[in-house]
Chain A
Amino acid sequence: MTKLVEWLVGVSVVLVAWAVVSFDLLELSLPDTYREVAWPMPLYLLVSFGCYSLATVGYRVATFNDCEEAAKELQEQIKEAKEDLRKRGLKI
């Protein structure tokens, strides 16, 4: 099963469950509170996912490590390498 198919199956299951509860398709005669809660769910879930995404990406960007020491260390090693290679006969 490809990821696309997994998603389609998952979304279908959720939508069918939502439709059954919201529109009383199976004539289950569920209490009204069930329907009131279920009806806006898809929108709520989308909005929640949107907020979660923004928060997660925002957090990850804010805590993205900046490798200052690594860059400095690299610069020093470049100098050392050039010296050593020149001694060993490298001609650029």
Chain B
Amino acid sequence: MSRRRKLPCASSFSRYPVAPVSWIMSSRRKSPRSGHEADKYSVLLPTYNERENLPLIVWLLVKYFGESGFDYEIIVIDDGSPDGTLEVAQQLQRIYGEEKIVLRPRAQKLGLGTAYIHGIKHASGNFIFIMDADLSHHPKFIPEFIRIQREGDFDVVSGTRYRGDGGVYGWDLKRKLISRGANFLTQVLLRPGASDLTGSFRLYKRDVLEKLVERCVSKGYVFQMEMIVRARQLHYTIGEVPISFVDRVYGESKLGGNEIVSFVKGLLTLFATT
């Protein structure tokens, strides 16, 4: 049996011409260049014990935003990490400046939803990126997110591991099976109009994020799912960008029975209430 040749993963050099946008849009609208000069992108980085990864993710963000020329700021929301993440963040602030690195720490681990609310309050951008600080999400996709958002004037742009040349590194067969199985179940039950519901690399218009976070009540994986489901309910438009997800943590943190149970509970709750 011949080995199926897989597509190379999403890279900053690959152009997927027909790609994600055509799945979502039926007609291309040329957005006028004027009106974009004032765009500023705030990147929310909730951190907990990311002392080693924080400098690296910040360096990558500065690199790709710098090269692209877009105006940006990085808001680090540290939840009282015992490993000194905040101290590293302060060093980064000295290196890159207080305009670019904004620190809004909290005293203890309080959860993602409230971290976003806290971050939005101090954000000066009109667009907000949310992403993981552990290097599983790569800033090289940021220009692509912005390009797709402008093309379709999307309210939300979601990174997807499941479509186009999106993909994952570091997962064994079992993990892939669980991931695809869970996603299939979610698609059947919720018909959400987005291919990757549990992904957390997204670009939102600021007011859209504010409205959505207000309405979402779940935690963890399910919170990210609920955001997309609520976005559909409120008739927001959703674009997609294939991304590569490099999981360096999977070896240490297995996906346990507990997480699967809480995922299913959350999914059923969304099924019954939205």
Contacts and interface: CB of A to CB of B under 8 A. Distances in A.
Interface of A: 2-4, 53, 56-57, 60-71, 73-74, 77-78, 81-82, 84-85, 88-92
B169 A68 contact: yes
Interface in B157-199: 162, 165-171, 173, 176-177, 179-181, 183-184, 188-191
Contacts of B208: none
Interface residues of B, number: 48
B213 interface: no
B252 to A, nearest CB: 16
A4 to B, nearest CB: 5
B6 A66 contact: yes
Contacts of B59: 81, 84-85
A66 B274 contact: no
A66 B162 contact: no
Interface of B: 4, 6-11, 51-52, 55-56, 59-60, 88, 91-92, 94-95, 135, 138, 162, 165-171, 173, 176-177, 179-181, 183-184, 188-191, 244-246, 270-274
B246 A71 contact: yes
B93 to A, nearest CB: 11
Contacts of A4: 271-272
Main secondary structure of the interface of A (DSSP, over half): helix
Contact of A60 (B51, B162, B188, B272): B162
Contact of B180 (A3, A60, A88): A60
30 contacts: A2-B272, A2-B274, A3-B270, A3-B271, A3-B272, A3-B274, A64-B168, A64-B171, A64-B179, A65-B6, A65-B8, A65-B9, A65-B165, A65-B167, A66-B6, A68-B9, A69-B9, A70-B169, A73-B11, A74-B246, A78-B135, A81-B55, A81-B59, A81-B60, A85-B95, A89-B95, A90-B55, A90-B88, A92-B52, A92-B88
What 10 pairs between A and B have smallest CB-CB spacing?
A65-B167, A67-B9, A70-B244, A67-B244, A81-B59, A67-B169, A71-B169, A4-B272, A60-B180, A67-B167
